[in-house]
Structure 1
Amino acid sequence: MKPDIHPEYQVVTVTCACGASFQTRSTKGIDQVDICSECHPFYTGRQKLVDTAGRVERFRRKYAKSKKGKKAETPEASADN
């Protein structure tokens, strides 16, 4: 490595918005993050469920008419064979 061209790699303290802090190594002096493993829902087990039920119901209502028409035709076609 060439001397005096690389930034200094040092131990820094990373502070989260929730108040948790931990030490790591970085070229940046001080680091602040918005979310960490102490407050992230995936790691804490307090996950919010996304409201997909409303989207699924809306999809079913939207395509219910075309689906009913196909179901009515399908049994008749299979009965003829």
Structure 2
Amino acid sequence: MRDNIHPNYRTVAFHDTRVDQYFLIGSTVETNKTVVRDGVEYPYMSLDVSSASHSFYTGEQRIHDGEGRVAQFKRRFKLSSK
């Protein structure tokens, strides 16, 4: 196996900023930021969405009304459908 061709695999602290939850996961992601968790310094990567905040996993899915975009346009401008 050749030297210096593989990415650096290490434990990284991923932070879901929406719900302020941290995940310690092995990763090859490159980052210059660090964070101290439980007395250990880890590379830090912030996330906008994770399984802790995504509506599919939390059960907070929104139900959309049945009216589509075309129907909304026709209703707004009172156009009859043919």
Say if 2:56 is the partner of 1:55.
no
Q: List 4+ stretches of structure 1 deviating above 4 A.
A: none
Structure 1 residue runs of 5 or longer lacking an equivalent are 66-81
Q: Cα RMSD between the aligned structures?
A: 2.3
Q: Which has the larger radius of gyration?
A: 1
Looking at secondary structure, tell me which structure has more strand per residue: 2
Structure 2 residue runs of 5 or longer lacking an equivalent are 30-42, 73-79
Change (3 A) 1:26 1:54: same
* TM, length-normalised to structure 1: 0.61
Paired positions, count: 61
Identity %, equivalent residues: 31
* TM, length-normalised to structure 2: 0.60
